[in-house]
Structure 1
Amino acid sequence: MKAVITVIGKDRTGIIYKVSKVLYELNINIEDISQTIMQEYFTMLMLVSLPEGVNMAKVNEALSPLTEEGLSVKCQKTDIFDAMHKL
């Protein structure tokens, strides 16, 4: 299943590492990534493939400790992401 992961927060060292480490531990493949710094804020979009047996709830649960570090992190199905961002 394809999913989109969004990450937003104050820029600091290690954000990409921490997110990627969680994905690695779940055997999730990063297919595409876009990131930018907007003033002091880091923003990242990742297109990922979830392996068999890994669902959105499991991914969001695994990423949730990053919210305690001041990051907004969300994993959602690509069709939901597309519907929310249509102009």
Structure 2
Amino acid sequence: MTRPEEGKRLIITVLGHDKVGIIAMISTILAEAQINILDISQTILQEFFTMVMVVDTSGSQTDVVTLRDILTRKGEEMGIKITVQHEDIFKFMHRV
């Protein structure tokens, strides 16, 4: 598998109360947009669900603003907070 082009990776973070269907909802939206999940880490901290995904958008026609809007709206419907950032912005914000 080849590495995605620079600038085509996004970081998606999720935080909220744990409930059935969070991962299914997000992965369905990504699959419909032809966005590949490269890495995923999720855990439950007491009753709180947390997840970080690295995704590749190089095969998608969906722009980041549209994806962010879709995931934000669906997250609000489920009572969870979903953020979407370009990988380079995420790296810049979290550098030491």
* TM-score of the two chains, using structure 2 as the length reference: 0.83
Structure 1 residues 70, 14: closer, same or farther in 2, change over 3 A?
Answer: same
C-alpha distance in structure 1 between counterparts of 2:74 and 2:65, whole Å? 14
Q: CA RMSD in A?
A: 1.2
Superposition deviation, residue 56 in structure 1: 1.0
Q: Post-superposition, which runs of at least 4 consecutive aligned residues in structure 1 deviate over 2 A?
A: 51-54
Q: Which has the larger radius of gyration?
A: 2
C-alpha distance in structure 1 between counterparts of 2:34 and 2:46, whole Å? 33
Superposition deviation, residue 58 in structure 1: 1.4
C-alpha distance in structure 1 between counterparts of 2:61 and 2:19, whole Å? 32
Superposition deviation, residue 40 in structure 1: 0.5
Q: Percent identity?
A: 41
Return the match for 1:74 from 57, 64, 83. Answer: 83
Return the match for 2:40 from 33, 50, 56. Answer: 33
Structure 1 residues 38, 29: closer, same or farther in 2, change over 3 A?
Answer: same
What is the aligned residue count?
A: 87
Structure 1 residues 82, 20: closer, same or farther in 2, change over 3 A?
Answer: same
C-alpha distance in structure 1 between counterparts of 2:25 and 2:63, whole Å? 19
Aligned counterpart, 2:66: 58
C-alpha distance in structure 2 between counterparts of 1:69 and 1:22, whole Å? 14
**Where does the alignment leave 5 or more consecutive residues of structure 2 unmatched?**
1-7
* TM-score of the two chains, using structure 1 as the length reference: 0.91
**Where does the alignment leave 5 or more consecutive residues of structure 1 unmatched?**
none
C-alpha distance in structure 2 between counterparts of 1:84 and 1:70, whole Å? 26
Relative to structure 2, which stretch is displaced further, 47-56 or 20-29?
47-56
